[in-house]
Amino acid sequence: MSRKRVVVTGIGALTPIGNSVQEFWAGLISGKNGAGPITKFDPAAFTTKFACEVKNFDALTYIDKKELRRMDPFTHYSLSTAAMAIEDSKLDLSKINLERAGVIYGSGIGGMVTWEEEHTAYMHGGAKRVSPFFVPKMIADIAAGQISIKYGLKGPNYATTSACATSSHAIADAFILIQRGSAEIMVTGGAEAAITPMSIAGFNAARALSTWNDRMMEASRPFDKDRNGFVMGEGSGTIILEELEHALKRGATIYGEVVGIGLTGDAYHVTAPPPGGEGAVRSMKECLKDAGVEPSVVDYINAHGTSTELNDLNETLAIKTVFGDHANKLAVSSTKSMTGHLLGAAGAIEAIASLLAIKNSIIPPTINHEAVTPEMNLNYTPKVAVKKDINYAISNTFGFGGHNASLLFKKFVG
Whether pLDDT at 129 is above 80: yes
Catalytic: 304? yes
Phi, psi (deg, nearest 5) at residue 350:
-75, -25
Q: Count CA atoms closer than 13 A to 125's CA, side-chain side.
A: 8
Phi, psi (deg, nearest 5) at residue 225:
-55, -35
Catalytic: 341? yes
* Of 349, 408, 398, nearest in space to 78 by CA: 349
Sign of CA dihedral 272, 274, 277, 283: negative
Catalytic: 164? yes
pLDDT digits (tens, 9 = 90+) for 17-57: 999 999 999 999 999 999 999 999 999 999 999 999 999 99
pLDDT digits (tens, 9 = 90+) for 74-89: 999 999 999 999 999 9
What is residue 266's predicted lDDT score, i.e. its pLDDT?
Answer: 97
Residue 337 in contact with residue 365, Cβ under 8 Å? yes
Contacts with 189 (C-beta within 8 Å, 6 or more apart), sequence order: 12, 78, 81, 82, 85, 105, 106, 167, 170, 171, 236, 237, 238, 239, 345, 348
pLDDT digits (tens, 9 = 90+) for 153-203: 999 999 999 999 999 999 999 999 999 999 999 999 999 999 999 999 999
| Active-site option among 76, 169, 246, 304 | 304
Identity of residue 254: I
| Active-site option among 76, 341, 369, 403 | 341
Within the chain, which residue ranges are assigned CATH 3.40.47.10?
A: 7-249, 265-402
| Active-site option among 164, 169, 369, 403 | 164
User: Rounded mean pLDDT of 375-383?
Assistant: 96
What is residue 153's predicted lDDT score, i.e. its pLDDT?
Answer: 98
Whether pLDDT at 134 is above 90: yes
Domain 265-402: CATH class, spelled out:
alpha beta
Superfamily of domain 7-249: Thiolase/Chalcone synthase (3.40.47.10)
Whether pLDDT at 1 is above 80: no
- Among residues of the chain, what percentage have pLDDT more than 70? 100
Confidence of residue 311 (pLDDT cuts 50, 70, 90): very high
Alpha-carbon distance of 232 to 236, in angstroms, equals 14
Question: What burial letters (b/e) apply to 114-132, b meaning 16+ CB within 10 Å?
Answer: bbbbbeebeeeeeeeeeee
